[in-house]
Amino acid sequence: MSGICQNCRIELRAHYNKCMNRRPVVIVVLLLASLGLVGLLGWQAWQLQKSNDTVARSVLHDYATLAADEYGRRLTAALGYRGYFQIISRVGEPENAAAMRMTIEQDSQLAGAVELVDGIFVVTAEELSVDGLPMTPALREFLMRLHSDAEEFEGPYLSIPAQDDRPQIIYTRSADTVRTYGFSTSVAGVEQHLRDALEIEPLLPTSLGEGKVGNDRLYVAVTDAAGTLLMVANSPFDDVQPSRKIMGDDYQRVVEGYAIDVAVDPAVASTLLIGGLPSERLPFLGLVMVLAIALLLTAIWLFRREHAVIRMRTDFVSQVSHELRTPLTQIRMFAETLLLKRARSDEEQVRALRVIDRESRRLSHLVENILRFTSRASSVILNNKLQPITPVIYEVVDTTRMTNPDVSIEMRGDDDAKAVIDAHALRQVLLNLLDNAIKYGPKEQTIVISVGCNNDSVEVGIADEGPGIPRGDRDRVWDAFYRLARERQTAISGTGIGLAVVRELVEAMGGQCWIAASGAGTQVIVQLPGEAGNG
């Protein structure tokens, strides 16, 4: 039964670890899904704004159609009833074109309509008389055929639309059809009547837009059947397609074939639309979407960094555990050897004691590094003072030689050098640098410690015979947990905090440290304030 329970616990633990390993992936997927939803909301907002714009344009186009219908009614009345009909009805039956012009110009009641008249003609079976009408063979033939046309004539007059080879013609016939007379229209006079019809009152009802939308907010253009532009009011509006109305044959075909183009200024859409035009929210929504995307990307980046920190912390704990386990195993093993009296000679007892001393020193050094590193959040306070540094260096060298008898350490330089230091901090710095030199160098090597005075500073160099550090990594190795790519592939253990602690302590003593270029191996330079700098 206990074996089954143990298997269940193992399976549960494996399932838990599997779920925990999947957790980062799930969180990233959720964040990316949120990012997709933000994009979808932005796209929907954009589509909604486009729909609002389409509706607004459609309503404005309908209002433009309404205005075009109203203007068509006005210009039909202005040209047909107040213009052409008044002229034809007062002429009578003129003998010739000159008599007809005299009648028109002398009638005071035609003062507003006489400007519509350009050339005048009178046709009988015997002759054709004209006044101010440029005559061409084709026009003469047309007027004679018009007189001889036997179709039933209805209404006070008829209008013949303009064509490429003739102007618009207004004509009527005498009661006995002996005479056919009329006139060609003046383009300038027609334009003036069209403008007068536009300026009577607003084309759009005053109930729309509370009377605030006048004709100055409308683009109006009129062309005749021949395509001649007769009148333009205001400038066309960008990206607005005018509403076009083609006039039919109403009211004696007076405006047959005329095209009326009307467009409403989009700037007044908010006034014309019931409830107003929805405000332009795309810039704000775009800004919100950009901020949301930025926040989500920042969250993903922070999560990845947090995950990297967690992984780094886990690796650090694992490495520290391994580093602590090794000296503890050695101490325990040799302590049991002495306790159980398994040493066969005094030499073996001394050797066991030396191993215990060496590993305990190593353990103490490791714990010191860990404590120093974990207290980095608080400011480092040292007891810095001017003192000789060689006694500290010799002490560290003696300790290192005792624990690493295969390594040769040489001292070079000025034995009387003084620097502003904290003795305990300098000891920790040197132990870390020597530990790295021994760890990454060959088993039997010579490590050189040099001391030299340079102006107002003292430089301490530690050079080993190892493989060296590539130029591109010489700045990054001072960062916590950073290890060279080649070291990750080897069995060399380490916590990755030694050089970080070195830099922290050296800067706390007012100095600086770096890795110098060297032909072979690695040379670390520690520069400390000297006697002159302290003064």
The string of pLDDT tens digits covering residues 46-102 is 777 777 777 778 888 888 899 899 999 988 888 888 889 989 888 888 989 999 999
Q: What's the CA gap between 342 and 470, in Å, rounded? A: 48
Percent of the chain with pLDDT over 70: 84
pLDDT, tens digit, for every residue of 457-493? 899 999 988 888 888 888 888 887 777 766 666 656 6
pTM given for the model: 0.50
Cβ density class 291-308: b for 16+ within 10 Å, e for less: ebeeebeeebeeeeeeee
Q: Average pLDDT, stretch 270-287? A: 67
| Lowest-pLDDT range of 143-152, 269-278, 518-527 | 269-278
Torsion angle of C-alpha atoms 23, 28, 29, 32, degrees rounded to 10: 160
Bridge partners (DSSP) of residue 131 are 120
Q: Does the pLDDT of residue 263 top 60, yes or no?
A: yes
Q: What rounded mean pLDDT belongs to the chain?
A: 80
What does the pLDDT read at residue 350?
A: 79
Is the CB of residue 222 less than 8 Å from the CB of residue 162?
Answer: no
What does the pLDDT read at residue 516?
A: 87
What does the pLDDT read at residue 282?
A: 63
Is the CB of residue 127 less than 8 Å from the CB of residue 147?
Answer: no
With a CB cutoff of 8 Å and minimum separation 6, the contacts of 202 are 211, 213, 214, 215
What the chain holds in terms of domains, given with CATH numbers, is 1-271 (no CATH), 282-369 (1.10.287.130), 375-534 (3.30.565.10)
Q: Average pLDDT, stretch 160-175? A: 85
Q: Does the pLDDT of residue 1 top 60, yes or no?
A: no
Coil, helix or strand at residue 283: helix
Radius of gyration of the chain (CA): 53
Q: Average pLDDT, stretch 361-371? A: 72
Backbone φ and ψ for 488, nearest 5 degrees, come out as -70, -20
Written as six digits, the tokens of 169 are: 């013609």
Q: Does the pLDDT of residue 377 top 50, yes or no?
A: no
Q: Does the pLDDT of residue 122 top 60, yes or no?
A: yes
Element (H, E) at 246: strand 243-246
Candidates 500, 502, 524; CA nearest to 514 is 524
Q: Average pLDDT, stretch 359-377? A: 69
What does the pLDDT read at residue 139?
A: 87
| Lowest-pLDDT range of 13-17, 63-67, 324-328, 385-389 | 13-17
CA 14 to chain CA mean position, Å = 45
Written as six digits, the tokens of 194 are: 């069209």
Q: Does the pLDDT of residue 277 top 60, yes or no?
A: no
260: pLDDT confidence band, cut at 50, 70 and 90? very high
Alpha helix (H) ranges present in 130-186? Answer: 137-148
Coil, helix or strand at residue 304: helix
The residue with greater pLDDT, 166 or 449, is 449
What does the pLDDT read at residue 10?
A: 53
The residue with greater pLDDT, 506 or 354, is 506
Q: Does the pLDDT of residue 432 top 60, yes or no?
A: yes
SS (H, E, C) 231-288: EEECCCCCCCCCEEEECCCHHHHCCCCCEEEEEECHHHHHHHCCCCCCCCCHHHHHHH
Q: What's the CA gap between 165 and 175, in Å, rounded? A: 30
Q: Average pLDDT, stretch 385-411? A: 86
Task: Name the residue with tokens 């001889």.
Answer: 148
What does the pLDDT read at residue 380?
A: 62
What does the pLDDT read at residue 16?
A: 47
Is the CB of residue 331 less than 8 Å from the CB of residue 360?
Answer: yes
